Structure 1
């Protein structure tokens, strides 16, 4: 029985070693690699705003979630260190809160938030590779428009939003499917704030808005 147990354990160890070697043969990244990922993302703002001053100090706004595709490019400077550039654009509805909550949607804007992070990959030679990152974000708001409900309440009003610069934090994991392709799960926190300006016939009102979204991503990638 002892001999059979020993043989069984040895065989199991040999099989595990072979499987590990095969996994290592098909897995991993190295210095000089380029990684390209295509993700579907959910942008979920953790938003708050000040009152709309001077005319509506008790009125506030909120920023809605968005779902959109995203592309990112990572260059591995070393086996462990990579630099990732994230490119996407999302459309967000702006909702009335407190004194103007009855108006519902008061506008929308498109957001272009290119983000550059420096990543640390913990196990670059493994088939499952977690990483963390930190970097900077510059956000441009464009094609912002007010809603019919706001225009009826205040008169014809235009909307503009100030660009934002802040930090970004990131955590994720790549999971090899084969030598070429891998799955990716990723989450980011982006420090993002803006000032929204409402122009109604030359009368200017504004509100400060903290957006600070969490960005959840799931997709596939390739290395070359």
Structure 2
């Protein structure tokens, strides 16, 4: 888990290292996000009404603009703890997930003085850890890969600083299993939507 987060930070740092050579082509942002899981499920997991809690999280990201319109964004955060509940059984316990994501973005009006909208499509990898469900009787698959969809806009405040509003939908799912036998009980489709507001700085 730590190595995955470390690689995300290395990617951000690598972008930062080349920023002086490409003045104006590099942007970093910090956002606060509202994370709302879709909470869809299959099998026994669906039958007992399993849900994952919503929460507010933070993220940092770094974007490199290959052209004024096309950029690649690397998104990183720390492992986020969630409570897992069941309509039938009550509180099932907790788990953590770490969701580094990379998106390719198209910026429609990169020089507009008022608003600079963009859309993005990318890949998410999520690592589940610290799984403590039903007193250790249940576990989940530790890895999830899925698409990430993004729409947002930057609102320039100064030449380098902008307000950012960002909306993402990410495909995240995992199988729920009996820890002792590995028997599959169903799948939890977290598939969260994330609405974020933050500040960006362009070099």
TM-score range (shorter-chain normalised) is: 0.7 to 0.9
Contact 1:31 1:76 in 2 (8 A): no
SS of residue paired to 2:121: strand
- Answer yes or no: is 1:79 the counterpart of 2:68: yes
- Answer yes or no: is 1:193 the counterpart of 2:173: yes
The superposition leaves residues 85-119 of structure 1 with CA deviations (integer Å, 9 ceiling, x where unpaired) of 1112322211113xx2xx32202111111111110
- Answer yes or no: is 1:62 the counterpart of 2:54: no
Match of 2:198 in 1: 219
Say which of 3, 25, 34 aligns to 1:33. Answer: 25
- What are the residue-to-residue correspondences of 1:1-224 with 2, within 5 Å? 33-52=25-44, 58-88=47-77, 89-97=79-87, 100=88, 103-127=89-113, 128-146=115-133, 150-151=134-135, 157-199=137-179, 202=181, 204=183, 206-224=185-203
SS of residue paired to 1:78: coil
Structure with bigger gyration radius = 1
The superposition leaves residues 5-46 of structure 1 with CA deviations (integer Å, 9 ceiling, x where unpaired) of xxxxxxxxxxxxxxxxxxxxxxxxx98611100000111111
| TM-score, normalised relative to structure 2 | 0.81
What RMSD, in angstroms, separates the aligned Cα atoms of the two structures?
A: 2.1
The superposition leaves residues 61-87 of structure 1 with CA deviations (integer Å, 9 ceiling, x where unpaired) of 111112111001100000100000111
Distance (whole Å) between structure 1 residues aligned to residue 43 and residue 85 of structure 2: 13
Cα 1:124–1:31 shift into 2, 3 Å: farther
Count of aligned positions: 180
| TM-score, normalised relative to structure 1 | 0.74
